[in-house]
Amino acid sequence: MNPFHLAIPVDDLAAARHFYGTVLGCPEGRSSETWIDFDFHGHQLVVHKAPKSAIHRNPVDGDQVPVPHFGLVLDWAGWEALGERIKAAGVAFELEPHVRFAGKPGEQGTFFLFDPAGNALEFKAMRNPANLFAKQA
């Protein structure tokens, strides 16, 4: 799989450095006075100093999911470990870790949180990884 590159706005680089580097455990790459690169589990995430963005919500299997959002699909153990790491850091979840689409092809563990600049992140794990792109019956 090729790594993706994503650039997002943050209004406080020091807070972003702590959140992505310390809380999420992403190694820092290059940086300047206006941006920082992070190794986001093998993908390039760049935070750029800029004004906050608006968040909207859409319903997904009973949750009000923040949009826009981005994140990662992890293996189940990695998803659980990251959830515990975030809890231990005292960071609030927007949507607590839970299972959605239970018993369906897309069954997954998921949780949402916001970074200090208000960017929404989702981390999920598929019960059956082969069903990542499976359609609902």
Q: How confident is the model at residue 137 (pLDDT cuts 50, 70, 90)?
A: low
Name the segment(s) of the chain with CATH classification 3.30.720.120.
5-49
User: 56-131: which CATH topology?
Assistant: 2,3-Dihydroxybiphenyl 1,2-Dioxygenase; domain 1 (3.10.180)
- Fold type of domain 5-49: 3.30.720
- Domain(s) labelled CATH 3.10.180.10 in the chain stretch across 56-131
- Write the pLDDT tens digit of every residue in 3-58: 999 999 999 999 999 999 999 999 999 999 999 999 999 999 999 999 887 889 99
Q: Residues 63-119: pLDDT tens digits?
A: 999 999 999 999 999 999 999 999 999 999 999 999 999 999 889 999 999 999 999
Q: Are 9 and 48 in contact (CB under 8 A)?
A: yes
What would you report as the CA-atom Rg of the chain, rounded to the nearest whole angstrom? 15
